[in-house]
């Protein structure tokens, strides 16, 4: 340790840093929970897609600091119910989670299915960008994704794509490299399709989509009240509604 820092100063600095981190991620957890609740309200409900939701750990002795948090939401149909928060402990491929995070498998889970004509709302909360440390501002990005395809194939609205559940969390992450994409731009995610319903063979597996309304970025600093969060959720719902009308 540097001789310019006293024992007491060092202890105080460590305690302050850890306390600040705990406070920050408690607020992130509240933000994500509040957004999820607001989106689920009303006749035009949007519920999160099971397997796509990155949660904030409640165990303060095992705090995982993430650069970003992601989720996918879709329109709620009659009879739909939100799944329980089972994402903690779900198996991830190497590289999807921090190396020191325990890997636990709670139970065998059914693969996810995305219909080619299914609109989904992608949400990405960015806390830190290692490529832009000095200029990055914590922010939330969101976009509607539709017209799903694989590889360079043309869009076929009747198709259905099967993916492993953990692959869903790779879909919203593409917003980080698509922030400047124009409306109706086609992009490719890093999610790999396991199979296509009704297709005997599958060539390319990279899942792609259209961004009918582009990507919207909002600074987290502006979401300082419950009213602001409510307005943001209404803005998200309006974007999904507009995309569905234009299909």
Give the span between the Cα atoms of 45 and 30, in whole angstroms.
19
Give yes or no for a contact between 61 and 43, defined as CB atoms under 8 angstroms apart.
no
Where along the chain do its domains lie?
7-246
Kindly state the helix (H) or strand (E) to which residue 236 belongs, with its residue range: helix 226-246
Question: Between vectors from CA 33 to CA 161 and to CA 31, what angle results, nearest 5°?
Answer: 110
Give the span between the Cα atoms of 246 and 238, in whole angstroms.
12
Confidence category of residue 15, pLDDT binned at 50, 70, 90: very high
Q: Is the pLDDT of residue 73 over 60?
A: yes
Phi, psi of 114 (to 5 degrees): -120, 120
Give the span between the Cα atoms of 163 and 168, in whole angstroms.
8
pLDDT of residue 81: 45
For residues 64-82, one letter each, b for 16 or more C-beta atoms within 10 angstroms of the residue's C-beta and e for the rest, the string is eebebbbbbbbbbeeeeee
Give yes or no for a contact between 169 and 70, defined as CB atoms under 8 angstroms apart.
yes
50-54, 91-95, 130-134, 216-220, range with the lowest pLDDT: 91-95
Which of 141, 130, 226, 134 has the alpha carbon at shortest distance from 175?
141
SS3 39: helix
pLDDT tens per residue across span 158-167:
999 999 999 9
Helix 7-40 and helix 226-246, axial crossing angle in degrees, nearest 10 = 50
8-12, 73-77, 150-154, 223-227, range with the lowest pLDDT: 73-77
């Amino acid at each position: 340790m540097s001789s310019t820092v006293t024992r007491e100063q060092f202890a105080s600095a460590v305690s302050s840093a850890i306390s600040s981190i705990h406070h920050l991620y408690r607020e992130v957890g509240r933000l994500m929970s509040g957004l999820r609740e607001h989106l689920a309200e009303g006749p035009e409900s949007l519920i999160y897609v099971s397997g796509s939701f990155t949660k904030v750990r409640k165990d303060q002795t095992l705090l995982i600091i993430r650069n970003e948090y992601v989720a996918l939401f879709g329109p709620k149909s009659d009879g739909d119910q939100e799944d329980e928060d089972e994402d903690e402990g779900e198996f991830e491929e190497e590289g999807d989670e921090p190396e020191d995070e325990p890997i636990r498998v709670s139970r065998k889970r059914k693969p996810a299915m995305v219909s080619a004509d299914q609109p989904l709302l992608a949400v990405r909360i960015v806390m830190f960008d290692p490529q832009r440390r000095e200029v990055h501002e914590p922010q939330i990005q969101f976009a509607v994704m539709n017209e799903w395809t694989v590889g360079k194939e043309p869009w076929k609205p009747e198709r259905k794509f099967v993916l492993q559940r953990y692959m869903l969390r790779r879909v919203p992450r593409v917003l980080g490299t698509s922030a400047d994409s124009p409306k109706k731009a086609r992009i490719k995610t890093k999610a790999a399709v396991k199979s296509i319903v009704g297709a005997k063979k599958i060539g390319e597996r990279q899942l792609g989509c259209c961004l009918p309304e582009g990507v919207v970025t909002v600074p987290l600093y502006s979401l300082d009240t419950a009213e602001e969060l409510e307005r943001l959720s209404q803005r998200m719902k309006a974007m999904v509604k507009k995309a569905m009308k234009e299909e």
